[in-house]
Structure formats: structure tokens, C-alpha cells
Structure 1
Amino acid sequence: MLTGLVLALIAGALVSLQNIFNAKVNEHTGSWSTTTLVLGMGFAASLVMGLIMEGKNMFTLQHMQPWYWLSGMIGVGVVICLVQATRILGATYAISIVLTAQLGFALLWDSLGWLGLAKVPFSFNQLIGVLIIVGGILVFKLGGKSDAKEPAGTPGSGKPQGALHTD
């Protein structure tokens, strides 16, 4: 269990880091170029590591449902949506919404036993947990606003450093 927790923490950190990198790449290219670059480099890295770790067994795909192959196309949607959400909302807000959506849909799919998952009984405690996270996002986004004006060049002021403060 500890290994699973550590791996999940690492995955969360990597997704957050990748999202920031993707947003920075998107500042210099378009969304489709960013997606192609991200998924292309991911393919190359996965292919090399898979061949090193598994060899020819990597290509043994027995008893797999054909619709599982759609996962790669879903990845395109993930990258496009995350890049745009980060550009519009900022990294922390976008990622917190994405993680909450992941948790909510995982709860739904587990509870219904969809997509070949073992059915997990739904409880209102699980729903309350998701709603508490949503409340936390709202507090994060709406709770930090103040009417105080920030001087030029401070983070979040929207004014470049060195700009004259004329307010």
C-alpha cells in the first residue's frame, strides 16, 4: 500500500509539472503543436523504456478489448484541455478542478462498475468527500480576493516589473 501511495504522489507531482511545461510550450506554439510534441515525445520515451524493460514482450497484447485502444485518443483530449485550462485559469486552479473531476468521475465509474471496473458500493461519505474538495476549490479561488491594489511588478499585479504605478 505504501508503494501505491508513493507512486500516486509522484504521479500527481509529474502531472502538475507536465501541465506547467505544456502551458509554457503552448505560449510559443499552438495547442496542436504542443499536443503533438508532448504525446510524440511520450511515445518515443515509452517505446525506448518499454523495449529496455520488457523487450519483445512489450508487443504481446492478448485478450485486449479493441475499444481500449481509444486511450491514446483520450490522451489528446487531456493534453488539449489541460493546456487551454491552464492558460485561462492558471495552473493551480486548473489542476484542482481536473483532479476533482477525476475523483468525481472515478467515484461514478467505480460505483456503477463501468468500463470493466469492479463495482464498488457508493456511499454518501464518498460524495461528501468530493463536495468538500469542491468547496475547498471555491474557497481557494474566491477567498483570496481583496480590494487592495498591488504595486507594479509584484506577482499577480498584471503589470510588468519596472512599470510605473499610476493608480
Structure 2
Amino acid sequence: MVMGLLLAMIAGALVSLQNIFNSNVNQRTGAWSATTLVLGMGFVASFTISLIVEGRATFALQNMQPWYWISGLIGVGVVICLMQSMRMLTPTYAISIVMASQIGFALLFDSLGWLGLEKVPFTFNQLLGVLVIIGGIFVFKLGGSRQAKLNTKPAGESL
């Protein structure tokens, strides 16, 4: 369990780091070029590491449901939508919304047992947890808006 928590925390840190890099690439090249670069480099890296670690097993793809093959297309949607939302919002606000959406949809998929997942009973505590996260996003956004207004008052004007 501890290792799972540690790996999840590392993944969160890596996603945040990747989003910063993606945003910078996006600002200099454009969304589709950035997506191509990011996913292309990811393909080369993961394919190379897979060949080193798993060897020929890299190509053992039998007994896989056909719809799982579209995972890469979903990845394109993730990267392009995230980069565009970060440009239109702020990185922290966009990532917060992505996380809340991810948790909400994961809860939905788990509760309904969709896409081959084992059905997990839906509880009020789970719903409350998602609502608390969404509430936190509102507090974050509204608090930031208030602070930004305070910081933009003309000099000499009292708060």
C-alpha cells in the first residue's frame, strides 16, 4: 500500500511537471505541434524502454478487447484539451478542474462497473469527497480572484 501511495504521488508530480513543459512547448509551437512532439517523444521513450525491459513480450498483444486500442487516441484528446485549457484558464485552475473531473468520472465508472472494471458500491462518502474537491476549486478560484483585485488597486487607494 505504501508503495502504491508513493507511486501515485510521483505520478502526480510528473503530470504537473509534464504540464509545465507541455504549456511551454504549446506557447512556442502551437497545440497540435506540441501534442505531436509530446506524444511522439513519449512513444519513442516508452517503446525503447519496453524493448529493453520486456523484449519480445512488447509485441504480445493478443486477448485484448478491440476498444482498448483507442487508448492512444484518448491520450491525444487529453494532451490537446489540457494544453488549451491551461492557455484559457491558468495552469493550476485547469489542472484542478481536470483532477476533479477525473475523480468524478472514475467514481462513475467504478460504481457502474463500466469498461471491464469491477463494480464498486457507490457511497455517500465518495460523493461527499468529490463535492469537497469541487468546493475546494471554487474556494481556490474565488479566493484568487479576490486577491488579484486587491493587488490591482491603484497606488494610494486604501484596501
TM-score bracket for this pair, using the shorter chain length: over 0.9
Deviates more, 1:56-65 or 1:110-119: 56-65
- Tell me by how many angstroms 1:142 deviates: 0.1
Q: Name the TM-score, length of structure 2 as normaliser.
A: 0.92
What are the Cα deviations for residues 102-148 of structure 1, in whole angstroms up to 9, with x where unaligned? 00000000000000000000001100000000000100010231342
Unmatched 5+ stretches in structure 1: 152-164
Residue of structure 2 in register with 1:7 after alignment: 7
Q: Which residue does 2:133 correspond to in 1?
A: 133
Q: Separation in 2 of the partners of 1:85 and 1:11?
A: 20
TM-score, normalised with respect to structure 1? 0.88
Q: Aligned partner of 2:151: which letter?
A: K
Residues 56-115 of structure 1 deviation map (CA, whole Å, 9 limit, x = unaligned): 111101210111001000000000001011111111111111011000000000000000
Supply the RMSD in Å over aligned alpha carbons: 1.7
Unmatched 5+ stretches in structure 2 = none
Where 1:143 maps in the other structure, the secondary structure is: helix
Letter in 1 for 2:55: G
Residue 29 of structure 2 corresponds to 29
Which range moved further: 14-23 or 114-123? 14-23
What is the one-letter code of the residue matched to 2:65? Q
Relative to its length, the structure with more helix (as a share) is 2
Partner of 1:39: 39
Per the alignment, residue 162 of structure 1 pairs with none
The AA in structure 1 aligned to 2:22 is N
Q: Aligned equivalents of 1:130 and 1:104: distance in 2? A: 6
Q: Give, in whole Å, the separation in 2 of the partners of 1:148 and 1:110.
A: 43
State percent identity of aligned pairs.
68
2: CA distance, partners of 1:74 / 1:105? 15
- Matched length: 154
Question: 1:19 is matched with which residue?
Answer: 19
Q: State the SS of the aligned residue for 1:105.
A: helix
Kindly provide the amino acid, as one letter, of the partner of residue 111 in structure 1: S
Q: Distance in 1 between matches of 2:151 and 2:66?
A: 56
Q: Distance in 2 between matches of 1:41 and 1:10?
A: 20
User: What is aligned with 1:54?
Assistant: 54
